[in-house]
Structures are given as structure tokens and as C-alpha cells.
A and B are shown apart, each in its own frame.
Chain A
Amino acid sequence: MNFDFSDDAKALGEQARKLFADKAGTPAARKAMAKDAPAFDAALWAEIAALGWTAARVPEAHGGLGMSAEESCMLADAAGGSIACVPLVSSLLATEALLIAGSDAQQAKYFPGIADGSCIAVAAWSEPGAANPQALAVKAEGGKLHGIKAPVADLPGAHLAIVAAAGADGPSLWLVDLGAAKVETIETLDLVRRHGRLTLAGVAAEPLGDAADYQLWLDRAAVILAYEAIGTATAAMTMTVEYAKTRVAFGQTIGRYQGVKHKCADMYIKIELARAHALHGIAMIGSNGAELRQAAAAARVASLDAASFCGEEAVQLHGGIGFTWESDCQFYYRRARTLSAALGGRGWWADRLVRALELRNRAAA
């Protein structure tokens, strides 16, 4: 029985956490909020590309390190914990799509650039519209895509987009060279991570796999994003616990009071529940297991809940100072919404989880 990360993956996670602690973190995030700040930290991006992190999941045949989903998730966790201002998680999501669904030609064409960091790739899933924010309206006609994707994380400055579009056999993915598309920066609740609107007015696109590939990508993307959320939630909890150990009220450090300490315990509980499902997700990715659908959905819902709870209660437990602009609490508070908007919120994924359980129920019956 081995239900844990490999030693290699843990070592990479440690390395990533250390580097991000030095070169990223909330001070860097604060700088990134400035109106004239660049879309992302180019120096840090170059450094992590040189370290091979953008190549981690790329096959060796295409200039990568051929690592497993464990490494992607360790990197996502570290990036999430440090609010790192680099499009690393987006790159990992796009890489996963190419891995699942890319033809030999597509992989040969795009992987080398992704691996060395010269090609910034993102995943475009969300669409504007009140009717059903989770349905896909963007569609392909004769190899061209029509519609709008917004908000798309890390779109400003990106070169390549994996685009989810409706299709006759169900939704599937497409590859879009962003040089030919209309990209605008849009404002969101996240003041650190840039988001964009991608307008596809008959833009040429390459089909990337079929409907089944899209579903598999959704599941794997959910696991990777779950680790980013877990990293963010953990950072919010850690910051709060440290504060509770030092802040004094009524003659005692506030961490002594059960009202405070129990909230922190609840943060820990939610994080560990999410972590258990996310780990299950990694195990299922690795073994192509039948439980991937439910594991991925549970990981996403649980990690979004953890991120929201930890972000909200972090402000609460900091008291008034937590509500100020100068406090780091705002990074975690806002980032919980970003994580939710990236790939469909908890409601959509909770429904997907139950559908997966129903199908397995039927299969077992």
C-alpha cells in the first residue's frame, strides 16, 4: 500500500516552496497589483523554466523531463501557496491537454516551446453570459472558432490557448495560436493574476482530441487546480495561526480562545479532506483508474471549500487589520474566487461528482 507522493516529487515540492518563498510570496504579489506592473514576473518565469519546471510534465522526446502528475501537482501546490505571479499553473493545464489529446505533430510543434518557457500556454474554459455560466457556447465551424472566452487566467502575454468548445459529439478542446486572436485584459476580483477576454471571431484552430479527451482533461485539470487551491488555503491558515500565536487580547494570546482555535482547526480539517481527495485523484491519474471522475470532482469541490473558508476566516481572525488593503489577507480572500472561476464552481463540480457516483452505482448494480 503506497498512498503518498514519491520522494522525487516531494523533493521537487520542497525546492519549489523554497524558491517561491524567496522570489515570490505576498510582497511580490503586492508589487504585481500596481496598474503598470507587467502581466507576470518575467525574471521568475525565466528562472523556473531554467530549472525545468515548465518541462516537468513534457515528454522527454519533446524536450521535457517526462515526469508524472505528482510533480505537476507539487508545483501547483507551491505556486498556490505563494500567490506566485507566473503562469505556471496555466502552463501545467495546457501541457496536460497536449499530453492527453495532442497528435504527434501537435506535440512536436508545441511541447518544445512550452518546455523551455518561450511559449506561454493557457487554458480557456469560462465564458461570459448569464444563461448558464458553466455551459459552453463557443463552437467550431469548419475549423474556425466562434465566441468569447472570459475570464481566461494568464491570457495577457500568452502565446497559445487550449480552448474548450461545444461540438456535435459533446465539448472538446482546440488549440489556438493567440497571435491570430483578439486578446484584451479584463479586470477581475483578482488584482494579482492577470485575466483576459479572448474573442474568437472565426479564428483558425486545430482540433485537440475528441469529447472523451476533453472529459479526461477536465478531470486532470481539476486535480491540478485542487492542489493550487490547497496550497493557497494552507498559506491562509498558516498566516492566521501565526497571527493567533502573537496577537494579544484580554491579557492572552488570542490563540488560547476556543472561538479562534476551533476556527483554525476547521481550516485544517477542510484542507486535509481536500488533500485526501486530491491525492486519490493523483493515484487515479497514474493508474488510469476508474475512480478518476469522482476523485477529481471531490478534490475540486473540497479544495474550493477549503480555499473559501480559509480565505474568509483568515480575515475574520485577524480582526480589523485583516480587512485593510495593507494586510496580506486580501490575497487569499480574492484568490478563492479566482480558483472557482477558473474551471466551473463548486455547484457544477458537486453535480459532476454525484453523476459519477450514480454511474458507478449503476455499473455495480
Chain B
Amino acid sequence: MDFNDTTAEAEYRVTARAWLEENADAYRAPPATPWKLDEFIARSKAWQAKKFAAGYTGITWPKAFGGQGLGPMQSIIYGQEEGRFHAPSGLYSIGLGMCIPTVFSHGSPEVAARYVPKALVGDEVWCQLFSEPAAGSDLAGIRTKAVKDGDDWIIDGQKVWTSFAHASDYGIVVCRTDPGKPKHKGLTMFIVDMKAPGMEVRGIKQMSGGSDFNEVFFNNVRVPDAWRLGAEGDGWKVALTTLMHERLAVGGKPRHAPGYATLLKLAKGIEAPNGGPAIEAGDVRQRIAQSYINDEGIKLTQLRALSALSKGQMPGPEQSISKVVVAKTMQEMAAFALDLAGGDGFVTQDTDPELEKLQGAYLWSAGLRIAGGTDEILRNIIAERVLGLPGDLRPDKDRPFNAAA
């Protein structure tokens, strides 16, 4: 076994690191005060343009679309190197990670030529419009409809939890085009212009206080048939490939999120309820151990994926455990740590930066257990796709969508 890069991978890493050292200088630390939206967007665009010029965007994408045509390892290596900084890449992760691959997989060559390069250079920002108030986990149950009108489609309905819709130029939206068919069969995917007449974006305030996602209302929004991605009725299949791109990205614990080391450091400086340093209390040590087992266990599981990719193989089914472990672990560890810190972990004024991070993680983890696949759905996926257990009872699976229950 060998945790080292191959010679080619090492060369790529050295070059990427050197470029970042020179060009990401402004981002060695997170901003003292978080950027306001306008500044965040401006910095994101500038950074993306810089990366594009240097060949560090669309690393695995076909050269014909402005990508580098390299393998997954190079993309991962660049991601690891960039992750050592705090450069603003987040604005494009959904667009470039999920939406645009869908556009060039399922869109016409003309559509791909128009939209892919501008997305890659960062001129245009994309969002993904899937979930609705009545359909999150049950994505196929969506109600936003698209009705044919000449060479166009008219879209009416509502999407929810759309990250960065407020900063996006375009999006991909899955709509119901045939309510007479069973729910999985009557869907179609489209590109939509987020600034078109009839589009309304309203921010959603999160439990954590921030507002990263939105409700998006479609009121007679017109899109040309040329913007259809895949055949009419193929929307479910296209949506699955979008979600597959998300899964292929080797995810895991968000960068810079607190982990077992945070708890260990905290415990050293705090006294246990029964006296003595908390780091010597049995229950604290057990918790640190469990955090390590979960977080490092996922990191090591992801290394198994890198190992497979490095050899040109597909990562194994064990990758499906990542998000479900990471999210709950973050919540449990943060709660334990904040309780250990007593009142200091509760007060949000003049708070110690490490505790502030933990407070943020505690609030954020509640959403993380739900977003991008709930804990329950992910367990379903493990049970059904990895272990081969039968699917849940679905009374509406083969019933026409518009039939009475």
C-alpha cells in the first residue's frame, strides 16, 4: 500500500501547489468578517476567471467544452490543494459540479456550446431547481409543470431549497410534462433563465440565521424547446444523472469543519464536571475516540475511492456511507463539545472562535442531515442498492400522477 501520488500525480500536484501559492495569496485565511453577497460574488467571479486562465476549471471536462480532458485524480488533487486555502469557489460548485455536466450530457451541441464555456469561466452562475414544498425526498412527486406552447414550453410552479438562486443566471429545472403518466415517467428537464419574466426568487432564512437558499416561483415562464435537456418524458433519468455527478464528487466532512481534534483541544483546556482536566475524563475520551473513528473512518473510506480512481477503477459501494456518518457525527460531537464548555458554549457574544465554530457546526449539521439526501433516504439507499433489500412500499408508483389516490 502506498499513500503517495504516482509520479504523474505528484508532478501535477507540485505545479498546482506552486500556482496556488502564487495566486491564492489573498486567501490564506478566512475573511475576518464574512463577505457580503456582492463582494462574495465579485471575488468568486474573479477567482474563477483566474483558475480558468490557468487551466484549473473543468479539469475532467472534454477539451471541446473548455475543459482539460484529464482524469478524476487530477481534479481531486487540485481540489485538495485549493482546499488548503479559503478561496471562494462555493458559488460554482452546484453549477459546475451538477448542472453543467447535465447540460453537456443531455443538451444539444448548440446549447452546450452557448452555455458551457461561460459557466466554466465563471461569467454565468447556475442553480439546480429540483426540490419542491411537496416533493423533497420523493423527487418524482414534483408538481411544477411545463406545458407545450408552439416551439416553447410554459412553466408554472414552485421550487424550494434552491442554493444560490439569488445569485444565479441560469438553472436546470425538472418539470412535469405529462400528468397522465405514472410519476417517474411524465417528467422533463429544462434550462431556465433565472432573470426571465415570471421568475421570482425569495430567500429562505435558515434556523442557523443565514440565508443560502431560496424559494423560486415560476409564473408563466417561457422556455424554448431548444432548452430541453434530454427527450420529453426522460426527466427522471436526466435528474438521476445530475445526482450521480454529485455522488461521484468525493465529498465528506466540509473542509475546515470541526472534528475530533477540536474536541481534544477543547477538553485539554476545560475542567470536567467531577474535577480534573476534561481530557482525562473517561466519557470525554470515549467521545473523542468515537469522533475519530467516524470522521477519520470516512476520510480513510474516501482514500479507498481515490485508490480505485488512481487505478482507473470505479470506487466501491462503501462510499455510500460518507454523508450519513459525517452529518450525524458533526451534530453529536458539536453538542457534546458545547455542553462540555458549559455557558461559554451557549453564549454567542464575544465567543471564543473555536466555540463559535462549534456553534456554527451544531446549527449547520441539522440541515446537513437533511440536504443532499436525508439520513433516512441514505440508509434506504445503502439497504436497497448495496445490500439488495427490497424497495419501500410505494402505493403511487405505477398510478397515473393525476389519478385520485
Residues of A within 8 A of B (CB): 1-4, 237, 241, 244-245, 252-253, 255-256, 258, 260-262, 264-266, 268-269, 272-277, 279-280, 282-283, 286-287, 294, 297-298, 301-302, 305, 347, 350-351, 353-354, 357-358, 361
Distance A1 CA – B13 CA, assembled complex (angstroms): 13
A277 contacts B296, CB within 8 Å? yes
Q: Give min CB distance, B258 to chain A, whole Å.
A: 15
Query: Are A273 and B293 in touch, CB under 8 angstroms?
Result: yes
Q: Is the CB of B382 within 8 A of A268?
A: yes
Chain B residues near A241 (CB, 8 Å)?
A: 387-389
CA distance A280 to B387 in the complex (A): 24
**Do A255 and B297 touch across chains, with their CB atoms under 8 A apart?**
no
The B interface, classified by DSSP as helix, strand, loop or mixed, is: helix
* Docked CA distance A283–B73 (Å): 21
Tell whether, in the assembled complex, residue B379 and residue A265 are in contact, meaning their CB atoms are under 8 Å apart.
Answer: yes
Q: Report whether A258 and B392 are in contact in the complex, using a CB–CB cutoff of 8 Å.
A: yes
Which residues of chain A are within 8 angstroms of B307 by Cβ–Cβ distance? 1-4
Docked-complex contact A353 and B292, CB < 8 angstroms: yes
Chain A proximity of B174: nearest CB distance (Å)? 25
A260-B389, A262-B376, A272-B318 given. 12 additional CB < 8 A pairs? A1-B306, A244-B389, A256-B393, A261-B389, A273-B297, A273-B321, A277-B296, A297-B289, A298-B293, A350-B286, A351-B285, A358-B279
- B14 — which chain A residues lie within 8 A by C-beta? none
Q: Does B382 contact A265, Cβ atoms closer than 8 Å? A: yes
B274 contacts chain A at the CB level, 8 A cutoff:
no
Q: Which residues of B contact A361 (CB under 8 A)?
A: 261, 264-265
Q: Which residues of chain A come closer than 8 Å to B382, judged between CB atoms?
A: 265, 268-269
Q: Are A350 and B285 in contact (CB under 8 A)?
A: yes
CB closest chain-B residue, reference A1: B310
Contact B310 A269 (CB under 8 A): no
Please name all residues of chain A whose beta carbon is closer than 8 Å to the beta carbon of B264 when the two chains form the complex. Answer: 354, 357-358, 361
Give Cα A57 to B278, complex, Å: 43
A297 to B296, CA, bound (A): 13
Query: Do residues A301 and B1 form an inter-chain contact, with CB atoms below 8 A?
Result: no
B237 at interface by CB-CB < 8 Å = no
Q: From residue 4 to 36 of chain B, which have CB atoms closer than 8 A to chain A?
A: 4-6, 9
Cα A210 to Cα B63 in complex, Å, equals 60
A–B complex contacts, Cβ < 8 Å, 10 sampled: A1-B2, A256-B393, A262-B383, A265-B383, A268-B382, A282-B1, A283-B3, A298-B289, A298-B297, A351-B289
B289-304 near A? 1/0 per residue, CB < 8 Å: 1101110111011011
Whether B293 and A264, one on each chain, are in contact in the complex, defined by CB atoms closer than 8 angstroms, is no
For residue B11, give the distance in angstroms from its CB to the closest CB of chain A. 14
Complex CA distance for A282 and B3, rounded to whole angstroms: 12
Which residue in B265, B279, B289, B384 is a CB contact (below 8 Å) of A350?
A: B289
The reply to whether the CB of B347 lies closer than 8 angstroms to some CB of chain A is no
B76 CB → nearest A CB, Å: 9
Q: How far is the CB of A310 from chain B (nearest CB, A)?
A: 13
7 closest A-B pairs by beta carbon, nearest first, are A350-B289, A276-B300, A261-B383, A273-B297, A255-B389, A265-B379, A3-B307
CA–CA, A261 and B293, complex, Å:
23
Q: For residue B383, which residues in chain A have a CB less than 8 angstroms away from its CB?
A: 255, 261-262, 264-265, 268
Q: CB distance A286 to B294 under 8 Å?
A: no
Residue among B5, B304, B388 making CB contact with A279, cutoff 8 Å: B304
Q: Which residue of B lies closest to A272 (CB)?
A: B318
User: How many residues of B are counted as interface, with CB atoms below 8 angstroms from the partner's CB atoms?
Assistant: 53
A273 to chain B, nearest CB (A): 4
Given contacts A1-B310, A258-B376, contact A279 B300 (CB under 8 A): yes
- Which of A1, A261, A353 is in CB contact (< 8 Å) with B289? A353
Q: With A273-B297, A275-B318 given, is the CB distance from A265 to B1 under 8 Å?
A: no
Q: Do the beta carbons of B392 and A2 come within 8 Å of each other?
A: no
Query: Which residues of chain B are near A301, meaning CB under 8 Å?
Result: 289, 293
Q: How far is the CA of A282 from the CA of B304 in the complex (A)?
A: 13
Residues of A contacting B209 with CB < 8 Å? none
Residues of B within 8 A of A282 (CB): 1
Asked whether any CB of chain A lies closer than 8 Å to the CB of B324, the reply is yes
When C-beta atoms are compared, the residue in chain B nearest to A68 turns out to be: B1
A272-B321 contact, Cβ under 8 Å, with A3-B3, A241-B387, A265-B382: yes
- On whether the beta carbons of A347 and B286 are closer than 8 Å, the reply is yes
Decide if B297 touches A276 in the complex (CB within 8 Å).
yes
Given contacts A279-B304, A294-B292, A354-B285, contact A1 B297 (CB under 8 A): no
Asked if A264 and B387 make an inter-chain contact with CB atoms under 8 angstroms apart, the answer reads yes
- A residues within 8 A CB of B327? none
B308 surroundings in chain A (CB, below 8 A): 4
Q: Could you tell me the distance between the alpha carbons of A282 and B2 in the complex, rounded to whole angstroms?
A: 11
State how many angstroms separate the Cβ of A346 from the closest Cβ of chain B. 9
Shortest C-beta distance, B380 to chain A (Å), equals 7
Q: Is the CB of A245 within 8 A of B389?
A: yes
Of B261, B282, B297, B392, most A-chain CB atoms within 10 Å: B297
- Chain A residue, CB-CB nearest to B311: A2
Query: When chains A and B are docked, how far (Å) is the Cα of A173 from the Cα of B378?
Result: 46
Q: Could you tell me if B393 and A252 are in contact, using CB atoms closer than 8 angstroms?
A: yes
Query: B260 near A276 (CB under 8 angstroms)?
Result: no
- Shortest distance from the beta carbon of A363 to any chain B beta carbon, whole Å: 13
Which of the listed residues B282, B324, B380, B389 has the most CB atoms from chain A within 10 Å of its own CB?
B389
B98 within 8 A of A: no
CB pair A272–B301 under 8 Å, yes or no, is yes
The complex places the Cα of A79 from the Cα of B123 at a distance, in Å, of: 59
What chain A residues lie within 8 Å of B265 (beta carbons)?
Answer: 361
Interface residue B288 (Cβ < 8 Å from any Cβ of A):
yes
Contact (Cβ within 8 A) A287 B1: yes
Q: Which residues of B contact A358 (CB under 8 A)?
A: 264, 279
A276 and B304 in contact (CB under 8 A), knowing A4-B1, A262-B376? yes
Q: Is the CB of A277 within 8 A of B300?
A: yes
Give A48 to B146 CA distance when docked, in angstroms: 67
- List chain A residues, Cβ under 8 A from B318: 272, 275-276
CB <8 Å contact, A2 and B289 = no
- Complex Cα–Cα for A297 and B9 (A): 31
In this complex, what residue of B is CB-closest to A349? B289
Taking a contact as CB atoms closer than 8 A, the residue among B3, B298, B311, B386 that contacts A268 in the complex is B386
Q: Is the CB of B379 within 8 A of A1?
A: no
Shortest distance between the CB of B9 and any CB in chain A (Å): 7
Q: How far is the CB of B48 from chain A (nearest CB, A)?
A: 28
Q: Are A268 and B310 in contact (CB under 8 A)?
A: no
In the complex, which residue of chain B has the Cβ closest to the Cβ of A305?
A: B293
- Point out the residues of chain A lying under 8 angstroms from B376, CB to CB: 258, 262
Residues of chain B with a CB closer than 8 A to A347's CB: 282, 286
CA distance A136 to B209 in the complex (A): 54
